[in-house]
Structure 1
């Protein structure tokens, strides 16, 4: 409940703090570059290019996950992408790219709007809260062996990773992805249209639209707290052991020497109960 209230308050607060123009259009466009499209693309290439490089080559938007068999962190490419971190990345790239594009085009370092601060702050709040929930679930699930759903299998690809929880693809994650995608694209399209019309560059969402973003974020966090619960821990341990054994059969390998005592103990216990 506290995550729900915090998210709705943060995003819908734009109506309270909304202001008018951040820079008067009459002076903002006095000394513009002759190539608006090149300036906009420059902003997106600089921020987005560096961002995408980090996105695919570092743990920037990936969960920390552990191999159930060895209890060691998975290699980077095997870690699942995180929806919470991806949402923060999405809004960071969009807002900073637009901000830089305006500066390149007008040579004016315009003030950002309150809604932009709320969008970035909301993304940061979702990312931070998601990380805190992950840490709590690690402590609850990794005593015997890593058994969170993020640990059982390696990354299934970006889209499936951010859309899936322990039950598979989920409607609340799908809703959150679609809503953020629509609003992000609308922000960029409105930004370009405003530059062409020589009006204040950054669009302002309706208070109800900001509230919708908040509700979506709150729903994601609320459902995330119910993931990896103790009532499904045994089922996830069974799935982890089965996944390890399946990989060994596919690779035709014996149990590696690095296999932990914890994993062997859990596997033995589950076998004695006829569960694997």
Structure 2
């Protein structure tokens, strides 16, 4: 988690440094932009590491401790991390919150007045997609807890990428494709922010990219709803009836 956020922090810092170097000396607006963006990134990074801001909720402490003991037996050489696993939906929602808010501050203070611009469709769609995904995921988690299901989230963290890419069967394709489209959208978004030379206009992503991002989230939610389903019970085979005992027929005089 720390490495991933550090990469995005470096990219954001590079954009700010290259975009705000129009003069030899930084003025108050530039310093204020750097301070606010740096504060947002540091707060998010710190809360993500030392709190449950972007982690799953543990619903069964007994199962969590049992899974921790099993992991310790399996990986005796590795120190056990007894923290909750990271949540893919919470990480995505948090990242987009940091990126869009930082881009708005950067453009507003370094490039122009954002109040003069029109409503940005991409920012609204992206925040809507990932806010909706986070809400739907939370509702699913609460329903599973109310049903007292065995949840794969009741397992200690095994590392950032393993946590967000794993379901009850290990690394899953639907989680990987959801993360892949998120990385693609973030990369394109930050690149377009770096191309803004004048005026506070948040970048617009193509409708195709927004649609693919939305489809990826819907696919993820659909398959996530089946991750913690109880195992299918085998239908008992119908037992064949035992043959009825034959009653001996009384012998008649003729047969005698």
TM-score by length of 2: 0.67
The answer to which structure, 1 or 2, has the higher relative contact order (CA under 8 A, 6+ apart) is 1
**Higher helix fraction (1 or 2):** 1
Give CA deviations for 1:42-64 in whole Å, capped at 9, x if unaligned: 45313212211211121110011
In structure 2, what is the equivalent of residue 102 of structure 1? 107
Taking a change above 3 Å as real, the CA distance of residues 190 and 40 of structure 1, as seen in their structure-2 partners, is farther
Say whether residues 1:45 and 2:48 are aligned partners. no
Q: Is the alpha carbon distance of 1:33 and 1:161 closer, same or farther for their aligned partners in structure 2, counting shifts above 3 Å?
A: same
Worse-superposed segment, 212-221 or 54-63: 54-63
CA gap 1:70/1:219 in 2 versus in 1, 3 angstroms? closer
Which of 176, 179, 194 aligns to 2:178? It is: 176
Q: Which residue of 1 aligns with 2:147?
A: 140
Report what 1:202 is aligned to: 202
Q: Distance in 1 between matches of 2:166 and 2:54?
A: 15
Q: 1:122 aligns with which of 105, 118, 129?
A: 129
Higher gyration radius (CA): 2
Deviation at 1:92, TM superposition (A): 0.5
User: What stretches of structure 2 of length at least 5 have no aligned partner?
Assistant: 1-20, 69-80, 234-256
Instruction: Give the TM-score normalised by the residue count of structure 1.
Output: 0.62
Structure 1 residues 132 and 210, CA gap change in structure 2 (3 angstroms) = same
Shift of 1:118: 1.4
Q: Could you tell me how far 1:133 is from its partner in structure 2?
A: 0.4
User: SS of 2:147's equivalent?
Assistant: helix
Paired position in structure 1 for 2:212: 212
Distance 1:133 1:215 in 2: 18
Deviant stretches of 4+, over 6 Å: 36-40
Q: Deviations over 1:240-273 (max 9, x none)?
A: xxxxxxxxxxxxxxxxxxxxxxxxxxxxxxxxxx
- Deviation by residue 1:6-59 (Cα, 9 ceiling, x = unmatched): xxxxxxxxxxxxxxxxxxxxxxxxxx9735987765453132122112111211
For 1:70 and 1:186, the matched residues in 2 are separated by 39
Matches within 5 A, 1:228-243: 228-231=228-231
Aligned twin of 1:20? none
State the number of aligned residues.
Answer: 193
Change (3 A) 1:40 1:33: farther
> Does residue 159 in structure 1 map to residue 161 in structure 2?
yes
Q: Which runs of 5+ in 1 are unaligned?
A: 1-31, 234-276
Contact 2:55 2:86 in 1 (8 A): yes
